[in-house]
């Protein structure tokens, strides 16, 4: 009797599979990988949708050549092959080291949560949320999770607080899979969802699963610095793609990849992984259209690139800023907006276009529930999902059971699919209103001797009327006078889904690639709190108009102004921290001390945290201090 052969044969794999959260029965994912047996591939969590009658979607193609050496060396846990036995009625379990749930001190956990319709979906105007808060109109629901719940389909703390599988807590995992299916409509039938411990951790694991040390990672030239910080220690190098108002351009990507010569990149072979934030891009706020996504996806197919879509702001696509109250009111969703209309208003995910399984999508609850959940999920093909589960198993294991139970309880048991969509609509409206509040406040600068001008679309400029004439004498141009004065600030209101709206800085981005912008990072801020969101205005400061511009470097001027603002109680993020082209930060070289070809710099002004009143105060201070800073 050959023990090696006996065990797998004697195991009921269907029974084993049924233990997984939502019934994987797919044995697809022919891996071509020694250590990822078909048995273990079956353990990744997703039903085989193509088995559903009428599902014409293809399964993912074989992408096993994308797995990194590290991914291949991750040991397969055939633990789940034991599940058949573990499920055996009457089985006495003396193999595992699970502490008994009776010894968990938590008997029950209760939550008081805001009603799903706590926030209006239509415009509520300045401070309305604050008012509703003070007025105490919020409704809450109270609910309880118990250690041992009589209804075994419900979340049990005895399970959630126990060692869990890398795939996640079953009720939450099922909710997430169904949500992904209905909202993103993946183009492949055999996609899978894996619960993760937050996007940052997920991205690091995805990157090391798909790239070897020394490999390049394609990314937008301005991007989320933590994403680069996550993979840099693993030897992955950012390779920046030029952007326009929609984010990265297909032309730029095509040109870079088709003309790739390793000799021009220190021997680096053509990158095969792309990191992108396609919606409300961080920090620029750019949102990519469906057409653009199709073009990028086609290039990914052409050059065999895996697209990693980090999409925390998907449901916050706020639409165009509209200064006119009438137009603003017309642009907002109707109260009668259906779920279908809401979902249709959002640019489709890359997942929907993905007929090959080469998209890895990262979702997070950080922006829609709370960041402290450290909870999200990854959607990808079964092969990658299986390897990511292994990566979880040997590090974080599973996301925290407290988080999975409480978020799972809220979503799967309290709100359900429709309830969560209703919540998302309200959150989206909240951020839209905040955006409008900040932009309104920034534009209301007449009292600070600054003029605002609309420069087409959502683009705005701030002009000071004061300048020096050719004799060096101070001249104050008359209000409304043309041709004179200096443009000292400009920005494009952040929005969603439109393109060509960031003309100011995008023409100059490429030349700034080798600037010393990033060098400031080491002195100011690199990761964590300050970089979490693009729910912000990307404010260009025209240092080239500063009277000391020829005597002082832009970086110095940027720091001077930043410090001055901070000392006057306004903390903003220096744009330099988002420059992917100079990563990691290096000491600046004197000849590179410019942030754009014109010598301008950027601040990112977030509207996510401050109250409307604080935003107005801050806008006022920014206007006054910048005006003073630029005074001749």
Given 62, 123, 149, 560, the residue binding a second copy (CB under 8 A):
560
| Nearest CB to a second copy, comparing residues 297 and 562 | 562
Of 469-528, binders to a second copy (CB under 8 A) are 520, 522-528
In angstroms, rounded to a whole number, what is the distance separating the alpha carbons of residues 12 and 222? 51
- Which has the closest alpha carbon to 49: 12, 14, 22? 22
Count CB neighbours of 554 within 10 A: 24
In angstroms, rounded to a whole number, what is the distance separating the alpha carbons of residues 518 and 586? 7
Give least dist CB 478 to a second copy, A: 32
Given 3, 54, 267, 480, the residue binding a second copy (CB under 8 A):
3
| Nearest CB to a second copy, comparing residues 7 and 476 | 7
Given 433, 615, 629, 630, the residue binding a second copy (CB under 8 A):
615
In angstroms, rounded to a whole number, what is the distance separating the alpha carbons of residues 194 and 196? 6
In angstroms, rounded to a whole number, what is the distance separating the alpha carbons of residues 512 and 192? 40
Of 151-170, binders to a second copy (CB under 8 A) are 160-166
**Residues 226, 218, 194: CA angle, nearest 5 degrees:** 65
Helices 612-629 and 554-567 cross at an angle (nearest 10°) of 130
Residue 74, both tokens: 């991750």
Given 566, 586, 589, 628, the residue binding a second copy (CB under 8 A):
566
Count CB neighbours of 122 within 10 A: 15
Of 104-112, 266-274, 290-298, 477-485, the window that binds a second copy (rule: CB under 8 A) is: 104-112
Give least dist CB 508 to a second copy, A: 21
Count CB neighbours of 617 within 10 A: 15
**How many residues make contact with a second copy (CB under 8 A)?**
145
Residue 619, both tokens: 């806008």
Of 349-378, binders to a second copy (CB under 8 A) are 366-367, 369-375
Give least dist CB 306 to a second copy, A: 19
Give least dist CB 330 to a second copy, A: 26
Q: Is 529 exposed, middle or buried (0-12, 13-18, 19+ CB in 10 A)?
A: exposed
In angstroms, rounded to a whole number, what is the distance separating the alpha carbons of residues 188 and 380? 9
Helices 290-302 and 250-258 cross at an angle (nearest 10°) of 10
| Nearest CB to a second copy, comparing residues 294 and 552 | 552
Q: Is 2 in the site for a second copy (CB under 8 A)?
A: yes
Given 14, 52, 61, 96, the residue binding a second copy (CB under 8 A):
96
Given 123, 508, 617, 625, the residue binding a second copy (CB under 8 A):
617
Of 266-295, binders to a second copy (CB under 8 A) are 282
Of 15-23, 171-179, 477-485, 561-569, the window that binds a second copy (rule: CB under 8 A) is: 561-569
Of 333-352, binders to a second copy (CB under 8 A) are none
Give least dist CB 110 to a second copy, A: 4
| Nearest CB to a second copy, comparing residues 129 and 321 | 129
Binding characters for a second copy, 194-213, by CB under 8 A (x = yes): ---xx-xx--x---------
In angstroms, rounded to a whole number, what is the distance separating the alpha carbons of residues 591 and 572? 27
In angstroms, rounded to a whole number, what is the distance separating the alpha carbons of residues 71 and 35? 10
In angstroms, rounded to a whole number, what is the distance separating the alpha carbons of residues 342 and 357? 26
In angstroms, rounded to a whole number, what is the distance separating the alpha carbons of residues 373 and 98? 24
Given 604, 612, 626, 627, the residue binding a second copy (CB under 8 A):
604
Of 401-460, binders to a second copy (CB under 8 A) are 401-406, 410, 423, 427, 430
Residue 545 is classified by DSSP as G
Helices 416-443 and 170-184 cross at an angle (nearest 10°) of 60
Of 44-52, 175-183, 247-255, 610-618, the window that binds a second copy (rule: CB under 8 A) is: 610-618
Of 220-239, binders to a second copy (CB under 8 A) are 226, 229-230, 232-234
Could you tell me if 376 and 202 are in contact, meaning their C-beta atoms sit under 8 angstroms apart?
yes
Give least dist CB 505 to a second copy, A: 19
Of 110-139, binders to a second copy (CB under 8 A) are 110-114, 118-119, 129, 133, 138
| Nearest CB to a second copy, comparing residues 511 and 569 | 569
Could you tell me if 35 and 74 are in contact, meaning their C-beta atoms sit under 8 angstroms apart?
yes
Given 311, 363, 393, 600, the residue binding a second copy (CB under 8 A):
393
């Amino acid at each position: 009797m050959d023990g090696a052969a006996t065990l797998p044969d004697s195991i009921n794999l269907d029974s084993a599979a049924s233990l997984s959260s939502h019934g994987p029965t797919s044995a697809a994912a022919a891996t071509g990988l020694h250590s990822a047996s078909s048995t273990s591939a079956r353990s990744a969590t997703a039903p085989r949708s193509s088995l559903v009658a009428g599902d014409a979607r293809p399964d993912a193609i074989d992408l096993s050549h994308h797995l990194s050496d590290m991914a291949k060396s991750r040991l397969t846990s055939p633990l789940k092959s034991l599940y058949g036995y573990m499920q055996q009625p009457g089985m006495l379990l003396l193999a595992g080291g699970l502490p008994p749930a009776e010894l968990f001190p938590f008997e029950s956990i209760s939550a008081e949560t805001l009603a799903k319709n706590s926030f209006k979906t239509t415009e509520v105007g300045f401070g309305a949320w604050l008012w509703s808060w003070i007025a105490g109109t919020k409704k809450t629901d109270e609910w309880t999770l118990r250690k041992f719940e009589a209804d075994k389909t419900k979340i049990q703390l005895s399970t959630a607080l126990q060692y869990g599988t890398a795939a996640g807590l079953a009720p939450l995992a099922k909710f997430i899979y169904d949500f992904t299916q209905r909202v993103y409509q993946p183009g492949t039938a055999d996609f899978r969802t894996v619960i993760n411990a937050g996007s940052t951790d997920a991205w690091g694991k995805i990157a090391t699963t798909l790239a070897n040390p020394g490999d390049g990672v394609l990314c937008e030239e301005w991007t989320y610095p933590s994403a680069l910080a996550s993979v840099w220690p693993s030897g992955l190098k950012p390779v920046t793609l030029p952007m326009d108002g929609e984010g990265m351009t297909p032309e730029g990507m095509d040109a870079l990849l088709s003309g790739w010569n390793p000799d021009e990149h220190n021997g680096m072979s053509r990158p095969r992984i792309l990191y992108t934030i396609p919606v409300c891009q961080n920090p620029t706020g750019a949102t990519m259209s469906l057409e653009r996504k199709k073009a990028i996806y086609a290039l990914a197919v052409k050059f065999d690139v895996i697209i990693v879509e980090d999409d925390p702001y998907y449901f916050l696509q706020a639409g165009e800023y509209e200064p006119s109250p009438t137009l603003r009111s017309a642009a907002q969703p109707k109260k009668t907006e259906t779920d279908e209309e809401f979902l249709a208003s959002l640019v489709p995910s890359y997942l929907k276009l993905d007929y090959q399984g080469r998209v890895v999508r990262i979702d997070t609850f950080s922006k829609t529930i709370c960041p402290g959940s450290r909870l999200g999920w990854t959607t990808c093909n079964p092969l990658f999902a299986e390897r990511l589960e292994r990566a979880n198993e040997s590090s974080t294991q599973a996301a925290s059971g407290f988080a999975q139970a409480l978020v799972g309880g809220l979503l799967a048991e309290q709100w359900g699919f429709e309830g969560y969509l209703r919540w998302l609509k309200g959150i989206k409206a909240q951020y839209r209103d905040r955006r409008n509040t900040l932009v309104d406040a920034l534009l209301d600068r007449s009292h600070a001797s600054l003029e605002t001008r609309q420069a087409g679309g959502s683009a705005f400029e701030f002009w000071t009327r004061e300048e020096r004439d050719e004799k060096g004498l101070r001249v104050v141009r008359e209000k409304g006078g043309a041709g004179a004065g200096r443009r000292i600030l400009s920005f494009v209101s952040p929005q969603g889904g439109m393109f060509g709206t960031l003309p100011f800085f995008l023409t100059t981005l490429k030349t700034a690639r080798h600037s010393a912008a990033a060098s400031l990072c080491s002195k100011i801020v690199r990761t964590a709190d300050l970089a979490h969101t693009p729910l912000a205005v990307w404010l260009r400061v025209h240092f080239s108009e500063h009277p000391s511009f020829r005597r002082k470097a832009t970086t110095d001027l940027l720091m001077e102004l930043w410090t001055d603002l901070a000392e006057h109680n306004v903390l903003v993020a220096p744009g330099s921290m988002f420059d992917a082209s100079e990563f990691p930060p290096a000491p600046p070289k004197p000849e590179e001390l410019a942030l754009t070809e014109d010598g301008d710099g950027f601040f990112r002004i977030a509207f996510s945290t401050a109250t409307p009143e604080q935003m107005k105060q801050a806008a006022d201070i920014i206007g006054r201090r910048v005006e003073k800073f630029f005074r001749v």
